[in-house]
Chain A
């Protein structure tokens, strides 16, 4: 088994291919994460304007997340007018998933910002947009970060499905392995996907820490 992997990776062409696919995978997973977050933030903020809006948005987003990913990849070209193998299909589909996955955490995270702090910000004379960016958003980070971590793992695993319709990423190693009846690329694909998910998760934990120094300062230091 290990020998098979060694043999596969001993070929410079294969090594280059694996690295290229890894890079694609990162791009296909992370870009939609950023887009999804950028869409979910205002959407979640808007959803908190009224009880009806809130339930509506949260439920719509959870329904959206249950649409099978392969189906979304396949219908996306029809919606976007792109070719079936365009990476845009995966990016947009995953951005939709990320948005669906993040709306609820955004709502929860904003709910978790203490009311008296928001009241104080209003009383200081913050206008709503600046207040959102300068006060509510930074204080929402701890709760929001948990949602972003789930979404990143979800994206990294969903990108592999894209390989079924011939869109790059580590999933191509699976199709290659199946076609050649050769396990090494499959094992490499699985391992790299796992490692990637782990590394991105660690990075996100680090980022959250950087963004919330106030939550870690010792009392009375």
Chain B
């Protein structure tokens, strides 16, 4: 548990970076600090591992004031990941990851063995172990950064905009990976970002800060979307928050209908919209109504919309329906095979049902 108790940081020159921050980050959760540039996110994070000392107030880890612990020793028990990964350019990937175990006295051999395990944990090809950081892509560097932070198996992880410098597709992958890792590792994570979508996706709890280091709202993400504390938060959370709020609504009650299917290479059995599937039952695209006879080939298909994985939140169901050329949102199972279809009207009806006061 990480506690900020009335923490203020005023830099020489008078900038108040953090103003009377009171906040508790629970064990085993991802707590996100989000806000515009200069609102004190980095400063808050760095007060946890004593890279910055507060002007007043106390930062405590498991009830103990961090100021009472020797800084270097404290830091070795707290993983830290930053934006450009901050990898040591002069050390191989493996030696970068082995850094903290080496500092805490592991032999070179043991530290490297541990490092090799971690490369696997974060999904990196072991063949990259002997490369220098400059020889990796941005996404790979960030993975190395995460592996390095995890090397000494610290209970706490501080992450300062770790994914902001990579392109959106890679960022998506890294976010997924972090959530998967967190499922396994159960760390107490403080995560800083200026991207509200990232905050909502990753956070168990989200702290929205405004410039001047003032905490505007601290709540679970669904609450942030549903009940922004003030205009600043509402604006920061941004447009589409009604839609984005669907990420937190389960789709279990949504009816799934049968879908007319045709296997690639077969004759179309009827004239309406048909979903073409491959031999494994995975969707390949839509065949328009009245598009004539003859075997169905890839060239005759229209690209499909997004897919809704069975059991995932309502947002995906609505998007699948809205983006499908036929208006039928395709539902697939974990293996990617077609299960059936959902329609937008029923998504809206299901949402209506959930509202207080619904009959």
Q: Which residues from chain A sit less than 8 Å from chain B, CB to CB?
A: 114, 116-117, 119-127, 135, 138-139, 212, 214-215, 217-221
- Is A123 in contact with B83, judged by CB distance below 8 angstroms? no
> Shortest CB–CB separation between residue B97 and chain A, in angstroms?
11
Q: A116-B82, A124-B99 are in contact. Are A139 and B134 (CB under 8 A)?
A: no
Kindly identify, within residues 95 to 117 of chain B, every residue whose CB is under 8 Å from any CB belonging to chain A. Answer: 99-100, 103-104
In chain B, what residue has the closest Cβ to A113? B89
A212: which B residues are within 8 A, CB to CB?
Answer: 90
What residues of chain A lie closer than 8 Å to B72, measured between beta carbons?
125-127
> Is the beta-carbon distance between A139 and B89 smaller than 8 angstroms?
yes
Instruction: For the complex, count residues of B whose C-beta is within 8 A of A.
Output: 29
A214–B99 touching, CB < 8 Å: no
Main secondary structure of the interface of A (DSSP, over half): helix
- Chain B residues, CB < 8 A from A116: 82-84, 86
Report chain A residues within 8 Å CB of B74.
Answer: 125
Listed residue (B51, B84, B86, B148) with the most chain A CB atoms within 10 angstroms of its CB: B86
Which among B51, B85, B131, B132 has the highest number of chain A CB atoms within 10 Å?
Answer: B132
Q: Across the two chains, which residue of chain A brings its CB closest to B104?
A: A125
Sample of 24 A–B contacts (CB below 8 Å): A114-B89, A116-B82, A117-B87, A117-B88, A117-B89, A119-B51, A120-B88, A122-B51, A123-B49, A123-B51, A123-B80, A123-B82, A124-B75, A124-B99, A124-B103, A124-B148, A127-B72, A135-B88, A214-B132, A217-B132, A217-B134, A217-B135, A219-B135, A221-B131
State A114–B87 Cα separation when bound (angstroms): 10
Which one of B78, B86, B132 lies within 8 Å of A120 (CB-CB)?
Answer: B86
CB distance from A219 to the nearest CB of B (A): 6
Q: Bound complex: CA of A202 vs CA of B121, how far in Å? A: 45
Q: How far is the CB of B51 from chain A (nearest CB, A)?
A: 6
Across-interface contacts of B148 in A (CB, < 8 A): 124
| B76 sits at the interface (CB 8 A) | yes
Total inter-chain residue pairs, C-beta < 8 Å: 71
User: Nearest 7 pairs between A and B by C-beta?
Assistant: A120-B86, A125-B76, A123-B80, A125-B75, A214-B132, A214-B90, A116-B86
Given the known inter-chain contacts A219-B134, A220-B135, please indicate yes or no for A139 contacting B76, CB distance below 8 A. no
**Is B346 interfacial (CB-CB < 8 Å)?**
no
Inter-chain contact B89/A214, CB cutoff 8 Å: yes
Asked if B73 is at the interface (CB within 8 A of a chain A CB), the reply is yes
The answer on a CB contact under 8 Å between B100 and A125 is yes
| Contact in complex: A126, B51 (CB < 8 Å) | no
Residues of B within 8 A of A219 (CB): 134-135
Q: Give, as a whole number of angstroms, the nearest-CB distance from B261 to chain A.
A: 44
Task: Select one of A120, A126, A218, A220 contacting B103, CB under 8 A.
Answer: A126
Q: Given A120-B88, A124-B75, output 6 extra A-B contacts at Cβ < 8 Å.
A: A120-B86, A121-B88, A123-B78, A125-B74, A139-B90, A220-B135
Known: A125-B75, A212-B90, A214-B90. A120 touches B80 (CB 8 A): yes
Residues of B within 8 A of A126 (CB): 72, 103
Q: Contact: A120 with B87, CB < 8 Å?
A: yes
B86 touching A117 by the CB < 8 A rule? yes
Give A97 to B80 CA distance when docked, in angstroms. Answer: 43
Q: Which residues of A contact B83 (CB under 8 A)?
A: 116
Q: What CA separation (Å) do A220 and B138 show in the bound complex?
A: 12
Min CB distance A133 to B, Å, is: 12
Residues of B within 8 A of A121 (CB): 88
Q: Which of B51, B90, B104, B148 has the most CB of A within 10 A?
A: B90
CA distance A126 to B51 in the complex (A): 12
CA of A114 to CA of B72, assembled, Å: 21
B90 touches A138 (CB 8 A): yes
Report how far A116 CA is from B42 CA in the complex, Å. Answer: 13
- The CA-CA distance from A124 to B95 in the complex, in Å, is 13
Cα of A145 to Cα of B78 in the assembled complex, Å: 36
- Hey, which chain A residues are within 8 Å of B85, CB to CB? 120
Q: Which residues of A contact B84 (CB under 8 A)?
A: 114, 116
Find chain B residues with CB under 8 A from A135 CB.
Answer: 88, 90
Q: Are A217 and B89 in contact (CB under 8 A)?
A: no
Within 8 A of A (CB), among B106-151: 131-132, 134-135, 148
Bound-state Cα–Cα, A122 to B125, Å: 28
C-alpha gap A81/B78 in the complex (Å)? 56
Considering only CB atoms, which chain B residue lies closest to A116 in the complex? B86
Are A125 and B51 in contact, with the CB atoms below 8 A?
A: no
CB proximity of B159 to chain A, nearest CB, Å: 11
